[in-house]
């Protein structure tokens, strides 16, 4: 039995390869034999084909007939500002694009167990051979770390690793105008956090924008807490 497909490099390595291809060919479709030259390969062989496959699995490479080019997602990661919500969302999506990475994310979030525990899980639950499981782990760990450093994180951290206050029940406390929603959550020290949406959400697009705003808000709150801690020292 063969192990399942997985990227042979981490997302950070794949992004660097996408950068080199973009520097060489810009956005133009190019022959695969020419594309791999950007990465130091002289021909299509086992290793260079695995690199092409890895970029495809992360969604960083688009096929145009028998040619390839950097994808729109790759361009977002390469060209958007480091703190751009679009870049952060794209990194999060790319990090979970490989099916096995998405499954690992659902199981562990961005708090990973030991290599031995990961290997055992991949062999027992996901149909991997031992050597395939061991080979996958560095790519996955590197991808998780890259996503965390970029501010993307993984989507579903383990419940026991969430900050305690986020486990408090979040409850709807009323409407201010037709279609408006207000949610409140108790915090330590008799404080309350409130989210008010002054009108109904108009579909997926607005929900995605709200998610991006919440991500930015979390960053601003973290900066504020750090600044307060530094003042207290």
Residue 103: is its pLDDT beyond 90? yes
Q: Where would I find the beta strands (DSSP E) of the chain?
A: 30-31, 61-64, 67-70, 170-174, 181-187, 191-197
Predicted model pTM: 0.66
Spacing of C-alpha 143 from chain mean position: 8
* Average model confidence (pLDDT) across the chain: 83
Q: How confident is the model at residue 184 (pLDDT cuts 50, 70, 90)?
A: low
What are the C-alpha distances in Å from 57 to residues 63, 152, 177? Answer: 12, 18, 45
**pLDDT reported for residue 164:** 40
Which position has the token pair 């991500």? 215
Closest CA to 195 of 13, 111, 187: 187
**Burial letters 64-102, b for 16+ CB under 10 A, else e:** eeeebbbbebbbbbbebeeeebebbbbbbbbbbbbebbe
C-beta atoms surrounding 218 within 10 Å: 12
166: pLDDT confidence band, cut at 50, 70 and 90?
very low
**Residues above pLDDT 70, as percent of the chain:** 71
Average pLDDT in the 6-11 region? 96
pLDDT score at 225? 67
Nearest to 184 by CA among 197, 168, 195: 195
Q: How far apart are the first and last CA of the chain?
A: 58
In terms of Cα–Cα distance, which of 127, 111, 88 is closest to 161? 111
Where do the DSSP E strands lie in 85-168? none
Classified as helix, coil or strand, 85 is helix
Q: What are phi and psi of 68, to 5 degrees?
A: -135, 160
Residue 186's pLDDT is 57
CB 36 within 8 A of CB 51: yes
Question: Are 44 and 33 within 8 A, CB to CB?
Answer: yes
* pLDDT score for 211: 74
């Amino acid at each position: 039995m063969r192990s399942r497909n997985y990227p042979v490099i981490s997302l950070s390595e794949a992004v660097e390869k996408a950068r080199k291809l973009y520097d060489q060919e810009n956005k133009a479709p190019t022959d695969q034999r020419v594309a791999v030259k950007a990465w130091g390969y002289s021909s299509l062989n086992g290793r260079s084909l695995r690199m092409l496959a890895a970029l495809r699995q992360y969604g960083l490479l688009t096929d145009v007939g028998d040619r390839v080019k950097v994808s729109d997602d790759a361009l977002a990661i390469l060209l958007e500002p480091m703190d751009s919500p679009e870049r952060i969302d794209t990194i999060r999506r790319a990090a979970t694009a490989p099916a096995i990475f998405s499954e690992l994310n659902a199981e562990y979030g961005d708090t990973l167990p030991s290599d031995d525990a990961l290997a055992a899980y991949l062999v027992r639950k996901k149909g991997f051979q031992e050597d395939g499981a061991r080979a996958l782990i560095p790519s996955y760990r590197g991808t998780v770390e890259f996503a965390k450093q970029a501010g993307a994180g993984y989507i579903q951290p383990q419940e026991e690793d969430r900050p305690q206050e986020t486990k408090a029940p979040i409850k709807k406390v009323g409407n201010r105008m037709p279609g408006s929603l207000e949610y409140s959550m108790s915090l330590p020290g008799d404080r309350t956090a409130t989210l008010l949406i002054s009108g109904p959400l108009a579909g997926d697009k607005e929900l995605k924008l709200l998610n991006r705003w919440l991500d930015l808000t979390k960053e601003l709150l973290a900066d504020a807490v750090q600044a307060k801690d530094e003042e207290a020292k």
